[in-house]
Structure 1
Amino acid sequence: MTETEWAGAAARNNAEWCDAVCRAHGLAGEFGAGAWSSARRTPPLYPDAVSLTPEVSAADLVARIDTASPGCSVKDSFARLDLEPLGFEVLFEAQWIHREAGTPAPAHLGWEPLRSAESLPAWETAWNDGEESTGLFRPGLLSDDTRFLAAYAEGRIVAGAVASRGASVVGVSNLFTSADEESAWAGCLTEIARLWPGLPVIGYESGESLDAAVSQGFKPIGPLRVWLHTG
């Protein structure tokens, strides 16, 4: 596939993860023409819409979401939309990343999937730098195709990520660590290769996190922007 096609696959996988989070909170997202969207405000840190093709109309996309509620945001998966005239400003920019199927997994041990819903609050607390769990990640998200991965030291979670399998890729999001990110990527990728051998891995990162992903075999495949509605 071309880089644009891989970016499209990554956007679709990411939208499916956003949809799963919304449905776990009782919100029904919709995959429509050129985008995924939620007519009701999504959980914190999750976009209200994700573009799935470069051609989707900014006005059409924004018409599908609740811009009247604070925190409304759009993931512009191809960095093509101009949402400033519609009351948005750029919150951050990043790069989609892709790691070819068959790339050798790093020789790194110590990561495993959460084994029960009772472990989710501790995982969320570690992901949120020690802040108490708010129930953002709900038990309904746990499945054979969505794994919350964790690394432990002295009985506590010190690194983790979410791995979500799509039709032909595995998406990685929410990666965190109390150590260095290169080691975190190595452990995460080793576990993904064990769970789903032979599938390419996608995600998005920026800055030093992007550099750490590239050091573990990822390739940047295209820009994305997240826009925040400011009224």
Structure 2
Amino acid sequence: MITENEWAGNEWAGAAARNNAEWCDALCRAHGLAGEFGAGAWSSARRTPPLYPDAVSLAPGISPGDLVARIDTASPGCSVKDSFACLDLEPLGFEVLFEAQWIHRPAGEAPADPSAAIRWEPLRSADSLPEWETAWNDGEQGTGLFRPELLARDATFLSGTGADGKIVAGAVASPGESVVGISNLFAAGDAPGGEESAWAGCLTQVARLWPGLPVVGYESGESLDTAVRQGFTPVGPLRVWLRTA
């Protein structure tokens, strides 16, 4: 377990956690849910949309009991993003769903060349959002998780299209004051270059749109290895807890 002292001065993990919480808050607001940035954490008193946590810790010293008291533990699927992998939520009825690493990439570095077979650009029309979500969802029709309201101010949906004009890769870029967060990066099974090319194309767009901002996010397993090859450095662990009791 990571202690609070061990996290002192780890600015990139803290910046990544804050940026991720802001993206979770934006997505929840688009669904009519009012999240709150309180002492040491962001949280939602009502159940959040699928795949999104009910709370994101923003400081390693927060009390597990205080944090869990802010969220709806009675509804199925309640989860907590333990941003510093230091909370013990098992006594409160949670189990670890997965572990990952926050990642950081400096601003100003030229990314590897993306595949010339994919054209990258920001998604410009809300009409294209269902197609983007379907591609992100491995071809399964989207359920409206990503609402058009997000296009207005909170995020930039990056889209990679193949020669036939269909979306085959993409990512969400969430710009903040000091960093750009990348989440939901994907490459379809037939996308040229796969995830490696998706990262390269995504980072090329980020460097063009926000040239002075470093990039953060989180990944695990082979996806973490791919991100490292694209210039990212792991800067600290996180855990996602799911309530099962």
How high is the TM-score relative to the length of structure 2? 0.92
How many residue pairs were aligned?
A: 230
Q: Is the 8 A contact 1:145 1:166 kept in 2?
A: no
Q: Does 2:79 correspond to 1:73?
A: yes
Q: Is the 8 A contact 1:30 1:37 kept in 2?
A: yes
Residue in structure 2 matched with residue 43 of structure 1 by the alignment: 49
Match of 1:166 among 168, 171, 176: 176
Residue in structure 2 matched with residue 11 of structure 1 by the alignment: 17
Consecutive aligned runs of 4 or more in structure 1 exceeding 6 Å deviation: none
Query: What's the offset of the Cα at 1:206?
Result: 0.2
Residue in structure 2 matched with residue 222 of structure 1 by the alignment: 236
Letter matched to residue 135 of structure 1: G
> Structure 1 residues 34-43 or 141-150, which shifts more?
141-150
Letter matched to residue 201 of structure 1: V
Q: Is the 8 A contact 2:107 2:207 kept in 1?
A: no
Separation (CA, whole Å) in 1 of partners of 2:110 and 2:152: 26
Residue in structure 2 matched with residue 204 of structure 1 by the alignment: 218
Separation (CA, whole Å) in 2 of partners of 1:72 and 1:25: 17
Query: What's the offset of the Cα at 1:107?
Result: 2.9
How high is the TM-score relative to the length of structure 1? 0.97
What percent identity do the matched residue pairs reach? 79
Which structure 2 residues correspond to residues 1-231 of structure 1 after superposition, within 5 A? 4-108=10-114, 110-144=119-153, 146-153=155-162, 154-178=164-188, 179=191, 180-231=194-245
Q: Is the 8 A contact 1:117 1:142 kept in 2?
A: yes
Separation (CA, whole Å) in 1 of partners of 2:158 and 2:96: 30
> Structure 1 residues 28-37 or 104-113, which shifts more?
104-113
Letter matched to residue 32 of structure 1: G
Separation (CA, whole Å) in 1 of partners of 2:207 and 2:175: 12
> Structure 1 residues 99-108 or 87-96, which shifts more?
99-108
Query: What's the offset of the Cα at 1:104?
Result: 1.8
Letter matched to residue 88 of structure 1: F
Separation (CA, whole Å) in 2 of partners of 1:144 and 1:18: 14
RMSD: 1.2
Separation (CA, whole Å) in 1 of partners of 2:154 and 2:174: 6
Letter matched to residue 190 of structure 1: T
Separation (CA, whole Å) in 1 of partners of 2:178 and 2:152: 17
Q: Is the 8 A contact 1:3 1:222 kept in 2?
A: no
- Partner SS for 1:143: helix
Q: Which runs of 5+ in 1 are unaligned?
A: none
Separation (CA, whole Å) in 1 of partners of 2:223 and 2:203: 15
- Partner SS for 2:198: helix
Q: Which runs of 5+ in 2 are unaligned?
A: 1-7
Query: What's the offset of the Cα at 1:207?
Result: 0.4
